[in-house]
Structure 1
Amino acid sequence: MRTILVLTALVGVLSGSSCSQAQNEDSTVKTHKDSKKGGKKDGKKGKKNQEDTLENRFIDVAIPGLSKLATFSNVPESSSLALADQPGTFYTNADAGNSPTLYKVNAEGKLLQEISLPVANHDWESLAKDDKGTLYVVDAGNNNNSRKNLVVYRVNPAAPQQVSQIPFAYADQTEFPPKKDDRNFDCEASIWHAGKLYLFTKDRAQQTTSKVYALNDQPGQQTAKLIAKLAIPGEVTDASLSPDGRRLVLLAREELFVLEGSDFNAILKAKPRHVDLTGAGQTEGITFTDNQTVVISTEEGSLYQYKL
């Protein structure tokens, strides 16, 4: 039924728009502006602008509040997303099987910088950032729940050769791997908040619970303390906390879970609100840009903006 409604709405959009009207309407995509110049080249650009505008209309009909910003160029895949040092720029990375590289990109999908780190990439799945600009590269992808070399790398992007480490183990894991019904030790999501790193697991057993673990943000061997269990009916792929600390988003594949509260402790007790992102792709990275807006990346290289 939803597909029929979306297609019906799209037909209405197409039938009610002429080429000239589509080219003159404002677009929410920052990477494309209507061209008023003549010539063959500008004509092609105008056609592309029209198509992108119609694409965003279709996306907004299917998922209100979602608009496509860009497609990454020269980035192998995106498994995480964090704000970079300049407005409208982000850090991302690829996961297992790829180089230990951070990619700095902008909202137009352009690759601005490659930052190589002198450490291994066993399975980088998440990035967190503190209030001083330090990045925490969470190498804790653990599909089989059998890894014993879990680690978080602390790095200042301006001095990438100086990397400190937080090796850790989960307080409640005693088997490597545990029985299939207990395999909930894969971490693809993290945030930094008030001097601590919070890790959110991807439930590969029941797909009902994301466990929340806490680490101190300082280097050295640590035990990740289990502090909460969230009722998340999906496999969490990334997380982000709003700047005011009142809203936590947990990303899963083509879906989003929103938890709200007066502080972080209240958030962890809140009932998640579900947002359907069907059709967006393999959603892997998310970060807040303001208290009401998140940017989402997919493994395939799409970059979206979503208004909560």
Structure 2
Amino acid sequence: MRFTPLLPAALALLLTTASCSQAQSDTSDKGGKNAKSSKGGDRRKDKNAASEIQGLTKVGSLKGVVPESSGLAAAPTAGHYYSFGDDGNRPILYEITGTGEGVGKLDVPADNIDWESLSRDGQGNYYIGDCGNNESLRHDLRIYKFRPDAPTKVGTIAFQYPDQNEFPPKKKQRNFDCEASLWHDGQVWLFTKDRGQSRTSNVYTVPDQPGDYTAKKVTALAIPGQVTDAALRPDGRRLVLLGRGELFILDGNSWADILKATPRQVALTGAGQTEGAVFKDNKTLLISTEQGGLFEYTLP
């Protein structure tokens, strides 16, 4: 069919609009319907960004295995690890392989108000940090101590911060949320996630024995990010503090030196909301994300 050389203005506008709409639709559909995440990010870009980070490799997925992984620790079986879901999830430790395969579950008879961290000592005791405290409101902060070979016996290390007098403090002073802890030398060390504006992770300790304590403030670390987990290298000479999409490395010949070190920042852009970290060996970290990603990172 032949059209006359001059189209009516209304018809020309209609064709132009339809053509533009079709072009936008074709662009948005590239990569599939789910290319855009619900939070407005581009999953393809995130995936590409993560794959381009030197030393970072995706080794598995925790989707359908661990709901909202919020921490990692080595399990008693070599090459296996424990993880767990944070607040709102059941009080269960999920045993996984280094590639995210689920191999077992361990029910812990303790409340999960806001589990955020997990570590173990040299005698096979584990310490679950139920000390997530987003709004700095909690009066019931605690760490659960237990052994996998006697999981029905759980000890409670209850604590309070020596420098918190308001519940909650003013927003700029809310630095009493702790998502990172580890056991070292008879103490459980706590690293706060600064939700105020000081860009500081405060470091506290409590004894590793059940009881009711006022935590001891040891130092403050200049961390330009929010700390979500902590891991100490097997030789004790490197501390890694995980953040959201980043990590901070502190080196030293002793624990005292480490706590005085200037943190080195490493970007993990695209990896997701990184929440769990554990050393596989002196050079390699296993990292989990709340979205279910499982990565290995070879440290520089």
Into which bin does the TM-score normalised by the smaller protein fall? Answer: 0.7 to 0.9
CA distance in 2, matches of 1:307, 1:207: 30
Q: Answer yes or no: is the 8 Å Cα contact 2:233–2:281 preserved in 1.
A: yes
Question: Which amino acid in 1 is paired with 2:168?
Answer: P
Partner-residue secondary structure (3-state), 2:90: coil
Question: Which amino acid in 2 is paired with 1:133?
Answer: G
- In the other structure, the counterpart of 1:250 is 241
Equivalenced residue count is 253
- In the other structure, the counterpart of 2:40 is none
CA distance in 1, matches of 2:228, 2:284: 18
- In the other structure, the counterpart of 2:60 is 70
* CA deviation string 1:246-273 (max 9, x = no partner): 0000000000000000111100000000
Q: 1:133 Cα shift?
A: 1.4
Q: 1:226 Cα shift?
A: 0.6
Q: Answer yes or no: is the 8 Å Cα contact 2:60–2:100 preserved in 1.
A: yes
- In the other structure, the counterpart of 2:41 is none
- In the other structure, the counterpart of 1:176 is 167
2:134 equivalent to 1:158: no
Partner-residue secondary structure (3-state), 1:303: strand
Partner-residue secondary structure (3-state), 1:262: coil
Q: 1:113 Cα shift?
A: 1.0
* CA deviation string 1:54-85 (max 9, x = no partner): xxx96676210011110014221200010111
Taking only the aligned residue pairs, the percentage that are identical comes to: 54
- In the other structure, the counterpart of 2:70 is 79
Partner-residue secondary structure (3-state), 1:161: strand
Q: 1:207 Cα shift?
A: 5.7
- In the other structure, the counterpart of 2:264 is 273
Partner-residue secondary structure (3-state), 2:152: coil
Return 204-213 or 264-273, whichever deviates more: 204-213
TM-score, normalised via structure 1 length? 0.80
TM-score, normalised via structure 2 length? 0.82
Unaligned segments of structure 1, at least 5 residues: 1-56
Partner-residue secondary structure (3-state), 2:151: coil
2:222 equivalent to 1:227: no
User: Which one has a bigger Cα radius of gyration?
Assistant: 2
Return 266-275 or 68-77, whichever deviates more: 68-77
Question: Which amino acid in 2 is paired with 1:119?
Answer: A
Q: Answer yes or no: is the 8 Å Cα contact 1:207–1:235 preserved in 2.
A: no
- Of the two structures, which has the highest relative contact order with CA contacts closer than 8 Å and spacing of 6 or more? 2
Q: 1:158 Cα shift?
A: 1.7
After superposition, the Cα gap between the structure-2 partners of 1:61 and 1:297, relative to the gap in structure 1 and judged at 3 Å, is closer
CA distance in 2, matches of 1:195, 1:153: 15
Partner-residue secondary structure (3-state), 2:181: strand
From 189, 193, 199, give the equivalent of 1:202: 193
CA distance in 1, matches of 2:133, 2:220: 19
Q: 1:108 Cα shift?
A: 2.1
- In the other structure, the counterpart of 1:40 is none
CA distance in 2, matches of 1:81, 1:207: 27
Runs ≥4 residues deviating over 6 A? none
- In the other structure, the counterpart of 1:143 is 134
* CA deviation string 1:281-300 (max 9, x = no partner): 01000011111111100001
CA distance in 2, matches of 1:61, 1:104: 26
- In the other structure, the counterpart of 1:21 is none
Return 111-120 or 143-152, whichever deviates more: 111-120
2:203 equivalent to 1:215: no
